[in-house]
């Protein structure tokens, strides 16, 4: 990011920065509040994202691929 980077609402990045660890914990908490839980595969993806092994775009792409596979396997049954 350049020295003049800002979000779409004009906020400085530091003002909205949330650690990956906290973001993953928040997502897990939201799922649990709905009575849901991440699959082991999604937990592994989340751990890779938290560790910085994959970026957010890759996390999204791989997560969607897991969902496509899950839906395809349930449709076949």
pLDDT 10s digits, 21-61:
899 999 999 999 999 999 999 999 999 999 889 999 999 99
Residue 12 has pLDDT above 80, yes or no: no
> For residue 75, what pLDDT band results from cuts at 50, 70 and 90?
confident
Closest-CA residue to 45 (of 59, 34, 56, 31): 59
- Residue 64's pLDDT is 97
Angle (CA) 12-52-7 rounded to 5° is 15
- Predicted model pTM: 0.69
The answer to whether the beta carbons of residues 58 and 48 sit under 8 Å apart is no
How far from each other are the two terminal CA atoms of the chain, in whole angstroms?
Answer: 48
Task: Determine the length of the chain.
Answer: 77
User: Positive or negative CA dihedral for 17, 19, 20, 23?
Assistant: negative
Question: Residue 27 is encoded by which pair of tokens?
Answer: 């997502």
- Residue 76's pLDDT is 74
- Residue 18's pLDDT is 73
């Amino acid at each position: 990011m350049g020295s003049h980077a800002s979000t779409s609402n004009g906020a400085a990045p530091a003002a909205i920065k949330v650690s990956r660890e906290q973001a993953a914990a928040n997502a897990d908490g939201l799922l649990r509040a709905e009575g849901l839980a991440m699959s082991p595969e999604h937990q592994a993806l989340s751990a890779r994202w938290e560790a910085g092994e994959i970026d957010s775009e890759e996390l999204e792409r791989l997560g969607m691929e897991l969902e496509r596979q899950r839906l395809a396997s349930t449709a076949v049954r």
